[in-house]
A = this chain, B = another copy of it.
Amino acid sequence: MAPASNHAELLDRLGEVAVRVGLNIAHGQQLLITAPLDAVPLVRRITEHAYRAGASLVSTFYSDDETTLARFRHAPDDTFDTAAKWLHDGMAEAYRAGAARMAITGGNPTLLSGENHDRVARASRAGSLAGRPAMELITNFAINWSIVACATPAWAQQVFPDLEPEQALARLWDAIFTASRVTNADPVAEWARHNEILHRRSAWLNERRFAALHFRGPDTDLTVGLADGHAWAGGSEPARNGIICNPNIPTEEVFTTPHARRVDGTVRATKPLFHQGTLIDDIAVRFEGGRIVEASARVGQEVLTRILDTDEGARRLGEVALVPASSPISSSGILFRNTLFDENAASHIALGQSYTKCMLDTDSLTEAQLAERGANTSFIHIDWMIGSNLIDVDAITHDGTRESLMKQGEWTSQP
């Protein structure tokens, strides 16, 4: 384990990167943070950096795994369709009034695995419904927002089950600090260089404007058509309030909008998926005309089926992302059991809602026109890893020619 003073220094740098790179908070902006209770020390570093950078008021809403479990164990069964609509509405009001948003991830990845599935699904659906107005402001990128990670004992124990709790926590912190690029002396400059690489990559893909991507490997033969007028994104970007921010710390992906009706073939997940406290492992699905028509999972089949039945858009794709198998997160060899990390260790697709910012001309197009071009609509957006060093990716141009993008998970043609 690193000496305490070093940990304190790295934690402070992560706080600084969260504020200056992740949010790029503006003078006078309010900041809303959500965090697990174990993240108090990181929240304090973020809060101080936010005030130093000009924030007017930082408000943190903590979640507590223990009280979350208490609900599923002790609340009356007829109350699980309740959500904190007052809080979601309040947050949406804050965003509309100009607040920035920081989410700290790090909860127990399988917290709810042992709880009543029906209650979990009902509570989750009620939460998604109540949270929709606030979530739309995030997915439409109306404001600067970001996610960073905090190591917690429960998470660390699941990532390193063979280590003593203290060692596991230290190892997970090491991995977070490294992946978040705060281990060298000037992390803000390091992030500028990294953003530059992701910008170059997405600019090149936007120039080429391919018609489709073809993923091929063990149990995978999948063609993902890209939306008409899709736009690639990656790294820092301007939110609609004009502030350039990095929505994910870490981030390694370039990503765009698939065509909701032009995905065909089969694909097998290359990593397990941890969704709202439950594990879904070894997912294999078949697409026809953009829609999942067959789906299985060795673990969590019931939860997967529920997800796919959420709404019409839940069986179609809202994102496709390319991440080299040699990304720093991937080379760590760690399965983080947390989407923020695992999706930045492998190429992936996402079920559900697409990102407005990943389409061209979104300001002048109606929702119907965006849908016509292939954008997807759903309550959910669930990233799901399909890349590895066994997967090749070809691009298919509009005249039908093919060129290699990735071989064995590595970029073959890139600027």
Looking at chain A's contact residues, the main secondary structure is helix
Contact yes or no, B74 A51, CB < 8 A: yes
A83 CB to closest chain B CB (Å) equals 7
Contact yes or no, A84 B67, CB < 8 A: no
| Residue A346 is within 8 A (CB to CB) of chain B in the complex | no
Q: Of B62, B64, B74, B89, which one neighbours A93 at CB under 8 angstroms?
A: B89
Residues on B with C-beta less than 8 A from A93 are 85-86, 89-90
A171 CB to closest chain B CB (Å) equals 26
Q: Of B58, B62, B73, B76, which one neighbours A54 at CB under 8 angstroms?
A: B76
| Residue A289 is within 8 A (CB to CB) of chain B in the complex | no
| Residue A363 is within 8 A (CB to CB) of chain B in the complex | no
Known contacts A51-B74, A79-B56; A67/B86 CB under 8 A: no
Contact yes or no, A51 B28, CB < 8 A: no
Contact yes or no, A56 B70, CB < 8 A: no
Q: Of B56, B62, B85, which one neighbours A75 at CB under 8 angstroms?
A: B56
Select from chain B the residue with minimum beta-carbon distance to A59: B84
Residues on B with C-beta less than 8 A from A40 are 37, 64
Contact yes or no, A57 B82, CB < 8 A: yes
Tell me the residues in window 76-104 of chain A with beta carbons closer than 8 Å to chain B beta carbons.
Answer: 76, 78-79, 82-87, 89-91, 93-94, 97, 99
Q: In the bound complex, how far is the Cα of B84 from the Cα of A97, in angstroms?
A: 11
Contact yes or no, B75 A51, CB < 8 A: yes
Tell me the residues in window 30-57 of chain A with beta carbons closer than 8 Å to chain B beta carbons.
Answer: 30, 37, 40, 43-44, 47-48, 51-52, 54-57
A414 CB to closest chain B CB (Å) equals 42
| Residue A207 is within 8 A (CB to CB) of chain B in the complex | no
Residues on B with C-beta less than 8 A from A79 are 28, 54-57
Q: In the bound complex, how far is the Cα of B205 from the Cα of A53, in angstroms?
A: 57
Q: In the bound complex, how far is the Cα of B105 from the Cα of A320, in angstroms?
A: 49
| Residue A66 is within 8 A (CB to CB) of chain B in the complex | yes
Contact yes or no, A55 B75, CB < 8 A: yes
Q: Of B48, B78, B99, which one neighbours A86 at CB under 8 angstroms?
A: B99
Could you pull out 10 A-B pairs where Cβ atoms are within 8 angstroms? A56-B75, A56-B76, A57-B84, A58-B71, A59-B87, A84-B94, A85-B97, A86-B91, A86-B94, A90-B90
Residues of A at the B interface (CB closer than 8 Å) are 27-28, 30, 37, 40, 43-44, 47-48, 51-52, 54-62, 64, 66-67, 70-71, 73-76, 78-79, 82-87, 89-91, 93-94, 97, 99
The 10 closest A-B pairs by CB, nearest first: A90-B90, A56-B79, A86-B94, A51-B74, A56-B82, A51-B75, A47-B67, A86-B93, A86-B90, A48-B70
A sample of 12 more A-B contacts (CB under 8 A), given A48-B67, A56-B76, A58-B67, is A27-B76, A28-B82, A30-B86, A44-B67, A47-B70, A54-B75, A56-B75, A60-B64, A87-B90, A87-B94, A89-B90, A90-B90
